[in-house]
Every structure is written in structure tokens, then in C-alpha cells.
Amino acid sequence: MEAKINKVAQMIAASKRLVIFTGAGISTESGIPDFRGPDGLWTKVDPEDFTIDRFLASGETRTKVWYYLVEGGLMTNSQPNRAHLAIAELEKMNKLSSIITQNIDNLHQRAGNDPKKVHELHGNMEWLVCLDCRERYDLEQMRKKHPSPDRFPVCEKCGGILKPGVVFFGETLPQVTLMKATREAQECDLLLVIGSSLVVYPAAYMPLYAKRAGANIVIINMGDTGHDDIADVLINAPAGETMARIMEKLRSIMSVNGKS
């Protein structure tokens, strides 16, 4: 393990274009269960309520979703953990090109990463978006203005249907974001995967794009992934502890390089 930590730190130090790809496993240490895990969101709510067709067709479904948002909190109280803070520190060290994330929890931005560097493939739960005029509302502010879980609010500007700013089942991924993420993966020299099982597509194509372009691949995940076979370094360990150890080693390397 120590040898792997040292190798990853050296790879980051040598990298000219580092891209980090994150999945649900990086946020479990912030108290956000994996959607599909034993205590995941889909054990608490009906996934069918998050299909775009049902959401659009049924006011009752929209009310149920608003109830989840008002009463359930759905990630609003979660805070960045050591892994998120490590990635933010990489940006401060000018060692980070961008983040590609499957997560919708806004924790990279809360940790201090520039939102322009965060490519959210599945959207962001912090926002409500009007499906008619595209006006965007801060979810927490709307929860305070409409505390009753009995009815999903409508757009204040045009009266249109508001929807959480995340990709529902049956929707395509945001194409501009997907194109930018693909380009980042194809142009990086090191792709660091943290907390993803790499089985949900098209997001899981990103390591393949990077590998085909000649990049090194590091995977940090609890359990097997769909692309373990292409990893140059594979670490089966918690994200927070692993990234904290990598950053400690990287600081040492950068300090020595700075003095030499």
C-alpha cells in the first residue's frame, strides 16, 4: 500500500494534465449513501418517481418528489470530506486540470474547487430548473420559501414546471457537459478515478478514452470496478484516508522539487 501511495504521488507530481473522475464512493464518507447500496436512496424512495415521463405527467409524482426534497433533505446537510478537500488542494497547487463527476451533491464546489472545472455528468441537486423558460432557482432558498411538502412550487417567472437540476431516468446526459468531459479525458496524461465502480455508461467511458489517448490510470475504490484491467495503479481502500496519504506524500515531493 505504501508503495502504491508513493507511486501515485509521484505520478501526480509529474503530471502536466491531471483529470479526476469521481463517483458515489467519494461521498459515502460525507454521509451520502450510494444510490444502489443497502442503505441507498432507492431503498427509501421509489425510483419510478424519478423517471422524466412520470414526473412530467403526474402532479402527484411531482408532489412526492417535493416531499423528498423538503422532508428528506437529500444531501443538503452533507459536508466535503478529506477526499474532496484533497482534490481542492490539488487545484490550489495548480496540479488539477478538471473534475469529471457522476455525483449530484455539489461537494466539490463546497470543498473549494472552481465550478468551471467541475463537469457534472448527472447534474446538480442544489438547483431547480424551469422546464419552460430555463430559469434556475437555488433549492435551499426555495425550500425556505415553500416549506410545505404538499405541492411542488412552480416557476416564479412563467409558471412552468420546476424540476431538480439532475438527470432523471429517461433523460439524456447534458450534451455540452459530456462533450467537455470527453475532451478532458482524451487530453489528460493522468486520470485518477475515485469512488466509482465504473459500470454506469456513458460516464464509465471516460477512463477508456483516457487510456486510448495514452494517459496513465489510477483507480481508488472500495471493491472491483468495470475497468480494473486498464489501471496502472489499483487501490482498494477508502477515498478519504487514501487521498490524505497521497497528499502528504505529494507535498513532500513538491517541497523537495521546489528547493532543488
Are 64 and 84 part of one and the same domain? no
69: closest CA among 163, 173, 174, 171? 163
CA distances from 79 to 76, 89, 107, 110, 246 (A): 9, 16, 7, 8, 21
C-alpha cell at 148: 410545505
Q: Last residue of a domain, which of 104, 135, 166?
A: 166
Are 197 and 207 part of one and the same domain? yes
Its pTM stands at 0.92
* 122 carries an active-site annotation: yes
Are 192 and 85 part of one and the same domain? yes
Q: Last residue of a domain, which of 149, 166, 183?
A: 166
Domain containing 39 equals 33-74+124-166
DSSP letter for 106, please.
Answer: -
Are 66 and 142 part of one and the same domain? yes
How far apart, in whole angstroms, are the C-alpha atoms of residue 220 and residue 242? 8
* pLDDT per residue as tens, the chain (260 positions): 999 999 999 999 999 999 999 999 999 999 887 666 565 565 566 778 889 999 999 999 999 899 888 876 555 578 999 999 999 999 999 999 999 999 999 999 999 999 999 999 999 999 999 999 999 999 989 989 998 888 899 999 999 999 999 999 999 999 999 999 999 999 999 999 999 999 999 999 999 999 999 999 999 999 999 999 999 999 999 999 999 999 999 999 988 876 54
Total tally of structural domains belonging to the chain: 2
CATH number at 198 reads 3.40.50.1220
Catalytic residue among 84, 108, 122, 227: 122
Are 21 and 37 part of one and the same domain? no
C-alpha cell at 102: 457522476
